[in-house]
Amino acid sequence: MKDDCIFCKIANHVIESDYVYEDDLVAAFRDMNPLAPTHVLVMPKEHYETIVDGVPAQTLAAMVHAVEEVAKSEGVAETGFRVTTNTGADAGQVVQHLHLHVLGGKRLTDDLA
Ligand code: DGP
């Protein structure tokens, strides 16, 4: 855990949040500025800055599993949803702790770029 990282603190319950899924490796909680009816952040409990920061395969698999669990529990697995991860400055990454955005619950726009 990185002491000055807000997502480390939330993922490890140093600060509590609105969790929707959790296991040994991963936590998922609602984004504080939701862009869609479902906007959940899925992240590892260990600190990695981005998806290209040497994340172990087991952790990546746990994150994908968490996406499936969240999509099902949020009711968007059938209707459709989007998974994104902002990586670095050009993508506008604000929090430097790897996280996947799970967005759904409405018809999403095409403007990914
Ligand atoms: P980005 O790093 O660009 O993927 O954006 C970070 C996202 O994390 C943004 O949608 C807002 C959200 N966020 C930032 N700080 C907190 C927080 O303390 N709690 C929650 N629930 N969400 C946060």
The amino acid that residue 49 corresponds to is E
In a domain, 111, yes or no: no
Q: Which among 38, 46, 97 is positioned nearest to 73, based on CA atoms?
A: 38
In a domain, 1, yes or no: no
CA of 17 to the centre of ligand 1 (A): 12
pLDDT at 111 over 90: no
Ligand 1 near 7 CB (within 6 A): no
In a domain, 51, yes or no: yes
Residues 6+ apart with CB under 8 A from 89: none
Ligand 1 pocket mutation pick from 94, 98, 102, 103 by most atoms within 8 angstroms of CB: 94
The pLDDT value recorded for residue 99 is 98
In a domain, 112, yes or no: no
In a domain, 113, yes or no: no
Is the overall model pTM greater than 0.75, yes or no? yes
pLDDT at 113 over 70: no
Number of domains comprising the chain: 1
- Domain of residue 19, CATH code: 3.30.428.10
In a domain, 109, yes or no: no
Q: How confident is the model at residue 112 (pLDDT cuts 50, 70, 90)?
A: confident
Looking at the CA of residue 17, tell me the nearest atom of ligand 1. 21
Read off the pLDDT of residues 41-92 as tens digits, 9 standing for 90 and up.
Answer: 999 999 999 999 999 999 999 999 999 999 999 999 999 999 999 999 999 9
Domain that includes residue 19, residue range:
6-104
In a domain, 110, yes or no: no
Read off the pLDDT of residues 99-110 as tens digits, 9 standing for 90 and up.
Answer: 999 999 999 998
Counting Cα atoms < 13 Å in the Cβ hemisphere of 58 gives: 5
